[in-house]
Amino acid sequence: MQEKLKNFYSNLFDFSGIIVGAIIFGISYAWFLIPFKVAPGGIGGIATVLHHFLGFPAGMSMIAINIPLFVLGWVLLGKQFGFRSFFGMMSGSFFTDLLNPETLYHNFEFFKPVINTQFWAFTDNILLASIAGSVLLGISLGIIFRFRGSTGGTDIPVALMKQYMGISIGAGYWVIESLIIFSIGFFFKDLNLIIWGYLNLFITTQIVDITAEGIPYTKGAYIITSRMDRIKFRILRELNRGITILKAEGGYSREPHDVLFVIVNRRQVASLRRIVKHEDPKAFMILMDVNDVMGDGFKTRSLDFQENT
């Protein structure tokens, strides 16, 4: 009984988070992106075309496009496209139509002074609309991902391309999004919309990563050096960080050597560089972002994308 109650509250918390993300999703499209035709690809881009050319409500267009994709994903890819993803898609589409500026203008006096009736948006500046819409869209998707949801859309054709054509997920996204962005420019006969689309896509993907995973505050370093003992000693003493020694072999020389691996926070990166450069100017060091570290001295950000219906 206690376990069931715990799961209930956990699911309630997750679905509440998805709803918050869906509200921001609706604001990003309805208030900024759709009025200026600058959607960063995706199902939202197709919905933008249908809205401006045929007058279809954007949210309903998203639902109409997404439902066949969900059925296809369920049949061909399995249950990973489950209820949370469907709920996220329906919620985001619902709030896109509910928060339409024209609807708000005619039903709520409060919004009349701030809505631009020429574009039916909250600004008349396409640059401001593009940036604000992309940032809000990235935040909304990041929140939905954090609570193990999804908005469907291009996730499904990308997954199908990976499974049946062997195309990587990253390449698949760029192929699909590029086709949609170029289609927007073609249908509206405006090449500038292609540039805006790619700008929006770049901003959105960056903000999604930051919102879902946080700004990387740690760095991982691989160090190959002939002065391993000195560098190891100074890292332990000055940076107070644990070290792992990996056994490796030169690809050309075939000679065995050790590789030092260490995790440091951002404030310690300059000190690590100084130590390595001072002890061995010929050392080879690779630095990389580390999004999540579990262990003494580091915080963890765990994201679980398993469906839990």
Verify that 247 and 114 share a domain, yes or no. Answer: no
Task: Give residues with Cβ within 8 angstroms of 298, minimum separation 6.
Answer: 218, 263, 265
132: its two tokens: 């604000």
Give the confidence band of 298 by pLDDT, cuts at 50, 70, 90. low
Residues 259, 245 contacting (CB under 8 angstroms): yes
Give the confidence band of 75 by pLDDT, cuts at 50, 70, 90. confident
Verify that 31 and 125 share a domain, yes or no. Answer: yes
- H or E element, residue 71: helix 58-77
Residue 191 lies in a domain: yes
Domain boundary among 160, 188, 213: 213
Which pLDDT value is given to residue 62? 92
Verify that 202 and 133 share a domain, yes or no. Answer: yes
Domain count along the chain: 2
Verify that 187 and 98 share a domain, yes or no. Answer: yes
Handedness of CA 26, 30, 34, 40 (dihedral sign): negative
64: its two tokens: 């109409």
Residue 302 lies in a domain: no
The CA–CA distances, whole Å, from 97 to 25, 112, 127, 231, 249 equal 11, 18, 23, 60, 59
61-65, 94-98, 169-173, 177-181: segment of lowest average pLDDT: 169-173
Give the confidence band of 77 by pLDDT, cuts at 50, 70, 90. low
Verify that 203 and 243 share a domain, yes or no. Answer: no
Residue 206 lies in a domain: yes
Bridge partners of 248, per DSSP, are 257
Which DSSP letter does residue 298 get? B
Verify that 72 and 193 share a domain, yes or no. Answer: yes
SS3 239: helix
**CATH label of the domain that carries residue 238:** 3.30.70.120
Domain boundary among 151, 185, 213: 213
Residue 161 lies in a domain: yes
Verify that 222 and 281 share a domain, yes or no. Answer: yes
Give the confidence band of 57 by pLDDT, cuts at 50, 70, 90. very high
Verify that 189 and 237 share a domain, yes or no. Answer: no
Residue 256 lies in a domain: yes
Verify that 53 and 197 share a domain, yes or no. Answer: yes
Which pLDDT value is given to residue 85? 81
Domain extent at residue 122: 2-213
Give residue 120's region: left, alpha or beta (phi > 0; psi -120 to 50).
left
Residues 27, 136 contacting (CB under 8 angstroms): yes
Phi/psi of residue 5, each to 5°? Answer: -65, -40
Which pLDDT value is given to residue 7? 82
Query: What mean pLDDT comes out for the span 5-20?
Result: 88
Higher per-residue pLDDT: 71 or 298: 71
Verify that 159 and 96 share a domain, yes or no. Answer: yes
Verify that 222 and 179 share a domain, yes or no. Answer: no
Among the listed residues 72, 54, 61, the one whose alpha carbon sits nearest the alpha carbon of residue 29: 61
Among the listed residues 167, 163, 160, 197, the one whose alpha carbon sits nearest the alpha carbon of residue 179: 197
Which pLDDT value is given to residue 80? 56
Per-residue model confidence as pLDDT tens digits over 184-197: 999 899 999 999 99
d(CA 210, CA 203): 11
Domain boundary among 213, 230, 259: 213
* Exposed / middle / buried, residue 295 (Cβ in 10 Å: 0-12, 13-18, 19+): exposed
CA angle 76, 16, 200 (to 5 degrees): 65
Residue 118 lies in a domain: yes
Q: How many other CB atoms sit within 10 Å of the CB of residue 82? A: 18
Residue 303 lies in a domain: no
Residue 299 lies in a domain: no
Verify that 144 and 207 share a domain, yes or no. Answer: yes
Taking every pair of Cα atoms in the chain, the longest distance, rounded to a whole number of angstroms, is 77
Q: What is the pTM of this model?
A: 0.75
